[in-house]
């Protein structure tokens, strides 16, 4: 059953002149994921390897990284299904490097937190279901798992450090769809900015790569339509309503 | 003129960045202590992040372990107050599939009443109206206040709030030895894997909050704690088949729960014993068992698209050795190694579960404060937590 796969892993420690790659041989089974392989490397070959992980089932978003050049969650990336004799593992792009495969998520969350979209949304019930007595609203977590993949693949995020980015803009559109007590005009003002929705070039890389079906590009387009609609309404509104 | 030199607050080093360590860092920081938490990897990368996300009502333990059940319902209600917006608050059902289940259900219902867990019988027809994907052959169900929480994001709120109160959280810092002088632990030594430089941190007390790794950390102080890592397999399927947490109405067994979470359904769990909590594996027969048993509750489980199967190691407290430590509950234990082993400055907290992490931290902080002569009440029962995202930006 065992099959040996070569892993080339991005290495960097603070103070190093430059990153390099280390090569490891890992014994794999049919279920082995890239995350399993990396934790096995840490256990049996190099305890200094740093990486982020938590849930092991695509719910927490911490193990986002580049595998063979593509952004994925390592926990749901099966090694054998990659079909390559060598697996290259690198950290996410468009985020400051901490060490090895770990990137600093603070800039991501600084933008994301500005939008302040609630974690839980009022859910559509399972089809045909009724709400249970005593349960006021059926609740469900938002789909976004804050992994940073959409920002890593975004061609704009790579060139405009002030761009709000797909995750935050998708969150802004979720506030528009379901404000849940948030300050919607303020959130829309953040999105309606040269570094907001108007900066997106509609490459749709984010939607393509999102492991949680958030469709950030779709949300950005919806947000643009809503903002344009709002402007047109103001343009044709009676003067008194416009104020000033 | 007299100058009063206020000596700095005592310093506590916590080894282990799981939910317990995070809640403890907050508890101690709120009581005015200086806190440094060191974790080998990313925080919540051990057992904490890997469970199914059930916020226990306590009903699962009501029949056989009422003390634990009472702890769960208390924390269940308390956490909803201090961590608003963190839960899918859709309640849970215990579903009876045969007469044996229904007989257990009678005991369960009575035990819920005795332990203060709100519970309500539903007929099979009523249960199917709430959850149309349940096995249509069900005989009846009991509704209880179970909920879903995000196994990483709820603990992150403790870490975020602890940081905001001055606690220093150091991920990727692996403890390699404890500094011990004359049977007294005075600090930790280790390596920061972000820089590959060694560190040494002195402490008035070191708390071992390393879950299933607790035995390894305790051994660095020359003491033995009876922790038995016991993994279970969990299965994540794409799609939500229920809104409520669905439990089998019988005593704990393999594959007896389906937890809806975000766009996934989690089926859990099994149980076995390992020596090394870093080497768990995912036994194929356990995965198949999750499909089989889960499908008895919700038939759609059998053909649902696979997302992932994984294992998580519970830190069970074994019975080996003379457990003369301060036994604080049947479900978790805080060992003051001075009382138990004659080693000063060293405390181990282990056992327990995600739902009771805050209570574990409170109990441990009480022990730490008593040892340090600090007179400060616990404040984590009513301190509303910062959002999880503040962990990254605080």
SS (H, E, C) chain A: CCEEEEEEEEECCCCCCCCEEEEEEEEECCCCEHHHHHHHHHHHCCCCCCCCCCCCCCCCCCCEEEECCEEEEHHHCEHHHHCCCEEEEECCCCCCEEECCEECCHHHHHHHHHHCCCCEEECCCCCCCCCCCCCCCCEEECCCCCCCHHHHHCCCCCCCCCCCCHHHHHHHHHHHHCCCCCCHHHHHHHHCCCCCHHHCCCCCHHHHHCCCCCCHHHHHHHHHHHHHHHHHHHHHCCHHHHCC
How confident is the model at residue A233, as a pLDDT? 80
pLDDT for A43 beyond 90: yes
Distance from CA of B188 to the nearest CA of A (A): 18
Q: Which of B382, B393, B386, B389 is nearest to B158 (CA)?
A: B386
- The yes or no reply on domain A3-103 and CATH 1.10.8.100 is no
User: Which one of B38, B40, B42 makes the best mutation probe of the A interface by having the most chain A beta carbons within 10 Å?
Assistant: B42
DSSP B277: T
Tokens for B227, please give them: 């922790």
Query: For chain A, what is the radius of gyration of the CA atoms?
Result: 21
- The yes or no reply on domain A106-236 and CATH 1.10.1060.10 is yes
How confident is the model at residue B174, as a pLDDT? 98
How confident is the model at residue B323, as a pLDDT? 36
How confident is the model at residue B227, as a pLDDT? 87
Q: Is residue B98 within 8 Å of residue A99, measured between CB atoms?
A: no
**Residues forming CATH 3.10.20.30 domain(s) in chain A:** 3-103
pLDDT digits (tens, 9 = 90+) for A157-182: 989 999 999 999 999 999 999 999 99
pLDDT for A27 beyond 70: yes
**Residues forming CATH 1.10.1060.10 domain(s) in chain A:** 106-236
**Positions in chain B short of pLDDT 70:** 1-6, 319-331
How confident is the model at residue B387, as a pLDDT? 97
* B192 to chain A: closest CA residue: A48
Distance from CA of B110 to the nearest CA of A (A): 20
How confident is the model at residue A232, as a pLDDT? 80
* A98 to chain B: closest CA residue: B194
CB contact under 8 A, A54 and B389: no
pLDDT digits (tens, 9 = 90+) for A75-109: 999 999 999 989 999 999 999 999 999 999 999 99
* Set of chain A residues whose Cβ sits within 8 Å of the Cβ of B172: 50, 98-99, 102
User: Which one of A30, A132, A147, A148 makes the best mutation probe of the B interface by having the most chain B beta carbons within 10 Å?
Assistant: A132
Tokens for A143, please give them: 């789909």
Query: What domains sit in chain B, N to C, each tagged with a CATH number?
Result: 11-48+153-225+318-393 (3.50.50.60), 90-148+228-316 (3.30.9.10)
How confident is the model at residue B5, as a pLDDT? 58
pLDDT for A124 beyond 90: no
**Considering CB atoms only, which of A52, A130, A138 is closest to B129?**
A130
- In whole angstroms, what is the distance from residue B197 CA to residue A14 CA? 10
CB contact under 8 A, A62 and B152: yes
How confident is the model at residue B246, as a pLDDT? 98
Q: Is the dihedral of CA B204, B337, B47, B92 positive or negative?
A: negative
């Amino acid at each position: 059953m065992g099959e040996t796969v070569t892993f080339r892993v991005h290495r960097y420690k603070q103070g190093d002149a430059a990153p390099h790659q280390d090569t490891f041989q890992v014994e794999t089974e049919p279920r082995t994921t890239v995350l399993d392989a990396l934790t096995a490397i840490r256990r049996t070959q190099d305890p200094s390897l740093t990486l982020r992980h938590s849930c092991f089932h695509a719910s927490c978003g911490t193990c986002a990284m580049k595998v063979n050049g593509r952004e994925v969650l390592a926990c749901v990336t099966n090694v054998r299904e990659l079909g390559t004799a060598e697996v290259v593992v690198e950290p996410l792009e468009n985020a400051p490097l901490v060490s090895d495969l770990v990137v600093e998520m603070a800039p991501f969350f600084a933008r994301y937190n500005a939008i302040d979209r609630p974690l839980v949304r009022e859910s559509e019930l399972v089809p045909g279901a009724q709400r249970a007595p005593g349960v006021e609203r059926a609740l469900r977590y938002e789909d976004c798992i804050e992994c940073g993949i959409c920002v890593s693949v975004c061609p704009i995020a790579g060139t405009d450090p002030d761009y709000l980015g797909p995750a935050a803009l998708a969150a802004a559109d979720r506030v528009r769809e379901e404000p849940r007590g948030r300050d919607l005009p303020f959130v829309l003002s953040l999105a309606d900015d040269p570094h907001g929705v108007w900066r997106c070039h509609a490459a749709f890389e984010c939607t393509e790569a999102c492991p949680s079906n958030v469709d950030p590009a779709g949300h950005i387009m919806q947000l643009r339509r809503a903002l344009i609609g709002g402007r047109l309404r103001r343009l044709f509104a009676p003067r008194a309503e416009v104020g000033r | 003129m007299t100058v009063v030199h206020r000596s700095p607050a005592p310093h506590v080093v916590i080894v282990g960045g799981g939910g317990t360590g995070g809640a403890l860092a907050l508890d101690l920081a709120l009581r005015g202590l200086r806190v440094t938490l060191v974790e080998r990897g990313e925080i919540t990368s051990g057992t904490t992040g890997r469970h199914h996300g059930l916020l226990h009502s306590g009903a699962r333990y009501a029949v056989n372990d009422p003390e634990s059940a009472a702890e769960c319902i208390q924390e269940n209600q308390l956490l909803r107050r201090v961590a608003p917006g963190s839960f899918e608050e859709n309640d849970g059902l215990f579903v009876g599939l045969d007469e044996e289940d229904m007989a257990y259900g009678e005991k369960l219902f009575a035990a819920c009443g005795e332990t203060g867990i709100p519970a309500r019988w539903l007929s099979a027809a009523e249960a199917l109206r709430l959850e149309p994907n349940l096995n249509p052959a069900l005989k009846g169900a009991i509704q209880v206040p179970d909920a879903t929480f995000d196994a990483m994001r709820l603990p992150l709120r403790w870490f975020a709030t602890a940081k905001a109160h001055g606690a220093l959280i150091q991920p990727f810092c692996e403890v390699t030895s404890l500094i011990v002088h004359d049977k007294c632990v005075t600090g930790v030594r280790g390596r920061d894997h972000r820089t590959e430089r060694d560190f040494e941190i002195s402490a008035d007390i070191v708390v071992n909050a390393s879950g299933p790794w607790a035995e390894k950390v305790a051994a660095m102080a020359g003491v033995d704690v009876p922790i038995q890592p016991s993994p279970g397999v969990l299965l994540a399927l794409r799609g939500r088949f229920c809104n409520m947490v669905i439990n089998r109405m019988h005593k704990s067994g393999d594959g007896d729960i389906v937890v809806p979470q975000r766009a996934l359904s989690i089926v859990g769990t099994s149980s076995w014993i390992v020596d090394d909590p870093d080497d768990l594996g995912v036994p194929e027969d356990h995965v198949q068992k999750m499909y089989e048993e889960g499908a008895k509750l919700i038939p759609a489980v059998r053909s649902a698209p696979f997302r992932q199967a994984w294992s998580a190691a519970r830190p069970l407290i074994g019975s080996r050795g003379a457990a003369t430590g301060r036994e604080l509950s049947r479900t978790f234990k805080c060992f003051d190694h001075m009382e138990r082993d004659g080693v000063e400055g060293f405390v181990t907290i282990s056992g327990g579960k995600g739902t009771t992490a805050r209570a574990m931290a409170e109990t441990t902080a009480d022990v730490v404060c008593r040892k340090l002569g600090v007179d400060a009440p616990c404040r984590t029962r009513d301190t509303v937590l910062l959002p999880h995202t503040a962990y990254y930006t605080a």
